[in-house]
A = this chain, B = another copy of it.
């Protein structure tokens, strides 16, 4: 297997400059659950804590070793081979990681989270917020609510644990206003930054005990309380409800609703032809008149009177609300910050998952609602 010897090129400059500004700045808030309230729940929490206090244990866990108490065993083993991901997650005690990138804090988002009927002691929440003035304000507001819930709230309301990450990457846009965010020329940079934020959150918080990952955008303010159980009951690798937005209809002067998340779609020949003619770094975007893809959007598939459990296959998914089996991510499915088959972020994720053999489905008649700015 002899080959010509390659040229030894000159030393390149160290890529320190590339690294600057991308260093993750991480805070962890870990909220211990004070005792009190229902004894049954306390026992469940304790049993759970005892079986795997570290997950994953990338830092040492030292039991207290004061005088008069027995020394900790020098070797402790945590057998965790009973992790399942099933359509009956509560019965099987399945842990769920709820991941929310957050730019602004909405009280309605938090209130809706508290109302979720999935056992809170099986739910870990993790947030990533930008290191900006707006991000600082959102972090402060979030921390106030977390303290209220985890410290003073009813024990049933308290979550297993909560993680907050702060990201040092410069936000690509100055404004988080809806009109500015949605401009087509801003979308590629904005969604690449969002993809990196999602990946940082995912890679840093996914542990060995996680069965499910629920992506829930911090501006989703209304879902059925049984959201997690309802989605999990379909036993799908990736499943998306249909995200709408409530608004005051000026014509009727009554509250109405309109489609919001256009990223849940079935592919079209038009979109594939557009992609085939594109340069390698171009991306397809959904929801813009100037780039008509004629994809079949899930937002347009609702059928009044039909079951909320009616399924449709999807080729692209959005991130407003999305339930993913942890093994899909563990196989390597992440959110590409670069054009992947001319798709980016959550839409690229669905494409990547498909390359790994995992299908996405949607529930057109199962609605969740986005904040109306």
A residues within 8 Å of B by Cβ?
Answer: 1, 3-9, 11-12, 14-16, 18-19, 22-35, 45-46, 48-49, 52-66, 69, 71-81, 83-85, 95, 97, 124, 126, 147, 150-151, 160-161, 163, 165-166, 195-196, 199-200, 202-210, 234-237, 265-266, 287-289, 292, 294-298, 300-301, 303, 310-313, 325-327, 329-332, 334-338, 352, 355-359, 361, 364
Flag if B54 contacts A61 (CB, 8 Å): yes
Closest 4 CB pairs of A and B: A6-B296, A55-B59, A199-B332, A58-B207
Chain B residues in 8 Å Cβ range of A265: 6
Stoichiometry, copies per complex: 2
Chain B residues in 8 Å Cβ range of A64: 63-64, 69
A55-B58, A204-B208 known; A359+B18 contact, CB < 8 A: yes
What are 22 A-B contacts defined by CB distance under 8 Å? A3-B294, A6-B265, A6-B298, A19-B237, A22-B327, A23-B83, A23-B85, A27-B81, A30-B54, A46-B62, A48-B59, A52-B59, A53-B62, A54-B61, A56-B204, A58-B124, A58-B163, A59-B161, A196-B332, A199-B331, A199-B332, A204-B330
Flag if A289 contacts B22 (CB, 8 Å): no
Chain B residues in 8 Å Cβ range of A311: 11-12
